[in-house]
Structure 1
Amino acid sequence: MWGYKRFFRRTTLETSDYIKDDCLSMHCTVGVVRTRVEGPKQYSIPVPPSDMGQSLTDLLESEVGCDIVFQVGDETFKAHKLILAARSPVFRAQFYGLIGNPNMEKAVLEDVEPFIFKAMLLFIYSDKLPTVQEVTGSSSVCASTIMVQHLLAAADRFGLDRLKQLCEAKLCEEVNADTVATTLPLTEQHRCPQLKTICLKFAAANLGVVMQSEGFRFLEESCPSLLCELLETVASADENSGPLLTRKRSGSSIFGLDLAAEGAAAESVNPNIRRMRRRLL
């Protein structure tokens, strides 16, 4: 028994010495583990633009699932009541209001041109202002302005506020001496104060040319209050036409025009402007 213990102790010591000697000759590699989290790198996944408007427009053109037919003049248009109700409070009341008829299959619309209703439908489904090329096939600026003027009235009638604002912006871009006098009554009738101010300033700056347009005659006959506002704008420009104020206004006048200088030029074109101013004052 004692011999076994001595043998076990000697064997253990020899093994321990061997392990110690071997560890002294061992080469160790030390690795460092980072615990700090680095910020995200600039990776990106391209996302295509929304095609919902195009998908709904395709649905309108294919007439799949249409449940309402509009009779507009001599033309008919098919549409979806739910989509119309989601976009227009007027259509929502007509189809799903307290006195609405959700089972209505046909509706007759008056006081709106077929091509204007088509343009309005395209906006309702696509949420974009259609071009006159898309609606009528024409590409003239005059046809575009006429379409947008009528579309502004339709947007106000059916509660399409975004379409109304898009029409205002487009009419502002296309304002000229031939159309400003016909746009002005629309701004008054459909409550477009920003566009009205722009039209008044433009007309005042180009009064001599505007007075010779056909639209100005209509303005004189049907909207005398607007005519007074126009003359007041001209008179206001005259009052502020001093040399210092003229230099200050030249950078801020609409379309880069100096209203006072333009008003003086207009008098040389048409002497009736001076008489109109005197009557106003």
Structure 2
Amino acid sequence: MGKILRETAKPSSSSWSPSSSSEPATTSSTSITETVKGSHQFKIKGYSLSKGIGIGKYIASDIFSVGGYDWAIYFYPDGKSVEDNATYVSLFIALASDGTDVRALFELTLLDQSGKERHKVHSHFERTLESGPYTLKYRGSMWGYKRFFKRTALETSDYLKDDCLSVNCSVGVVRSHTEGPKIYSIAIPPSNIGHQFGQLLESGKGSDVSFEVDGEVFTAHKLVLAARSPVFRAQLFGPMKDHNTKCIKVEDMEAPVFKALLHFMYWDSLPDMQELTGMNTKWATTLMAQHLLAAADRYALERLRLICEAGLCEDVAINTVATTLALAEQHHCFQLKAVCLKFIATSENLRGKLPICTD
């Protein structure tokens, strides 16, 4: 067996060589360097009691994780060292987990508690082009400021409120990785959940609630309606729910409108309005959109309401603008109202020179 392997491993005369006529393979890869960001807010209550703790002694935040490493904020009420003037408070961010040559960007912010948003910010993020990320060599390595703020100025500032300081620290850990060409190509089909639910509505299988609308009966599924509409959820499952769900009567709505409403709730799209109304006119489509907007508002279907509003904005005409404007006012459709008012204010429309939309 070993002999056969040794013999077959020998190059044959037909193997590729630099002088071969075959095209050389072309490959590529991309190096991507980015930051994994996170932040931590550290409140220091009882600041006055921390004074006198001693130079070089600190108050530490809870440990928090960013980019796979642990971090902690260190606040030195009496300063970090004597040689750097102990009349200052010091503030640092420290690596609190094992790691070597961890590269990161930092931002230390002393929050203004007066509401004026005049925060004291020291940011390493803004100096990346000048110096690049800061490298921490080992656990306990720190970045920050020994002279972060003069103590006397701090104690008379808006940063100190009710003997409390609030510090925010942002960390951006630098990560690099190399991406080669993809060796797969998987075509992912678009979602067809709307089609599947639509087929459920059309089949009527498993339906457990009925609605009578203008003499016509529609069957549906409680859970689907409750998931789509908070109004139906309250009507079917709330404390004041309808106990007779064999046939709930819906007042003040025409059957084609309710049918379109159900269609949208299952399919998540509008039906063919002309097919639904049996009228091949733009006026009929506009009228249907008006009624459907009111129904959408009634059942808190915000996406449907906006779709109808957008469609009506496109189809404003002389013979529908008055009813559309009243509808916009009643259902708080401010953009539709503005479009109607602009249409009415156009001099040509006021003179009635535009043709009435009937086709």
Q: Deviations over 1:21-51 (max 9, x none)?
A: xxxxxxxxxxxxxxx9661338532222111
Letter in 1 for 2:352: V
Distance 1:211 1:39, change over 3 A: closer
Letter in 1 for 2:288: M
1:143 to 264, 269, 284: 284
Alpha-carbon distance in structure 2 between the residues aligned to 1:197 and 1:80: 38
Secondary structure at 1:61's aligned position in 2? helix
Bigger strand fraction: 2
1:207 to 331, 337, 350: 350
Is 1:111 the counterpart of 2:256? The answer is no
Q: Which stretches in structure 2 are left out of the alignment for 5+ residues? A: 1-28, 30-177
* Residues 274, 284 of structure 2: 8 Å contact kept: no
2:323 to 173, 182, 191: 182
Is 1:71 the counterpart of 2:212? The answer is yes
Alignment of 1:132-171 (within 5 A): 132-171=273-312
Alpha-carbon distance in structure 2 between the residues aligned to 1:52 and 1:139: 30
User: Which protein, 1 or 2, shows the higher relative CO under an 8 Å CA cutoff with sep ≥ 6?
Assistant: 2
Distance 1:47 1:142, change over 3 A: same
Alpha-carbon distance in structure 2 between the residues aligned to 1:115 and 1:52: 24
Secondary structure at 1:108's aligned position in 2? strand
Root-mean-square deviation (Å)? 2.4
> TM-score, normalized by length of structure 1?
0.59
Alpha-carbon distance in structure 1 between the residues aligned to 2:343 and 2:179: 58
Q: Deviations over 1:226-245 (max 9, x none)?
A: xxxxxxxxxxxxxxxxxxxx
Q: Which stretches in structure 1 are left out of the alignment for 5+ residues? A: 1-35, 214-281
Q: Could you say which residue in structure 2 is the equivalent of 1:123?
A: 264
Secondary structure at 1:209's aligned position in 2? coil
- Name the larger-Rg structure: 1
Bigger helix fraction: 1
Distance 1:145 1:91, change over 3 A: same
User: How far does residue 210 in structure 1 lie from its aligned partner after superposition?
Assistant: 8.4
User: How far does residue 129 in structure 1 lie from its aligned partner after superposition?
Assistant: 2.0
**Alignment length, in residue pairs?**
179
Q: Deviations over 1:241-280 (max 9, x none)?
A: xxxxxxxxxxxxxxxxxxxxxxxxxxxxxxxxxxxxxxxx
> TM-score, normalized by length of structure 2?
0.47
